[in-house]
Amino acid sequence: AREKILDIIAKSAYNNDRAYEGCTRCVLAALIEHLHLSSCEGTKESLKASTGLAGGVCRMGETCGALTGGIMAIGLVIGSEKLEDFDTYKRVMENSYKLYNRFKEKYDTTRCFEIQEKVLGRHYDFKNKEDGATWYKDGGLDKCPMVCATAARLAAEIILDLQKGR
């Protein structure tokens, strides 16, 4: 049953990114939908807030947006709205760090441009129309959604463990 839900989440993140683009929100949306996180406070707002983080933070090629979406989902599950709740802050950080490390193990980096270089052979400046068009021609709409699928699966593994009290 666990593998099946992980497969469903990965496929959903992949399909979201193929259909709508915006890696952060596409990963976060898949996790919200299939792990039933819509009851978590601030879910709709977090999805809206995630929009500008795609493409390595506003298309700058920095930290992968798919990874960021997974980290946001962990925060939805175990985070706190209270700034003074330092124990919860530490717990979110510990679990986010797990995701970060697992993701980095897979790609040897967490940087969007470096991941693009690994999966597509080069990186693309999405602020440049010609580069954006080349990304489509070079298969970006298949390769980047695969990164989303991976990030969503890795995040879901951690969240499922958290939901079971592990």
91-132 pLDDT, tens digit per residue, is 999 999 999 999 999 999 999 999 999 999 999 999 999 999
The confidence score (pLDDT) of residue 40 equals 81
Give the DSSP letter of residue 35.
Answer: T
- Dmax over CA atoms of the chain, in Å, equals 49
Domain chopping of the chain, boundaries? 2-163
Query: Quick one: pLDDT at residue 42?
Result: 85
Q: Kindly state the helix (H) or strand (E) to which residue 103 belongs, with its residue range.
A: helix 86-107
On whether the CB atoms of residues 65 and 21 are closer than 8 A, the answer is no
Q: Are 151 and 64 within 8 A, CB to CB? A: yes
Q: 41 CB contacts (<8 Å, ≥6 apart)?
A: 81
Task: Work out the pLDDT band at 161, boundaries 50, 70, 90.
Answer: very high
C-alpha–C-alpha distance, residues 166 and 160, integer Å: 9
- Residues pairing with 111 in the sheet: 63
What pLDDT is attached to residue 41?
82
pLDDT at 39: 84
- Residue type for position 31: L
Q: What is the pLDDT of residue 165?
A: 86
CA angle 47, 135, 15 (to 5 degrees): 40
pLDDT tens profile 46-89: 999 999 999 999 999 999 999 999 999 999 999 999 999 999 99
Contact present, 74 and 159 (Cβ < 8 Å): yes
Write out the two tokens for 107: 């790609």
pLDDT band at 23 (very low <50, low <70, confident <90, very high): very high
Q: Is the pLDDT of residue 166 over 80?
A: no
Q: Please determine, for residue 26, whether its predicted confidence score (pLDDT) is greater than 90.
A: yes
pLDDT of residue 85: 97
151 vs 92: CA distance, rounded Å: 17
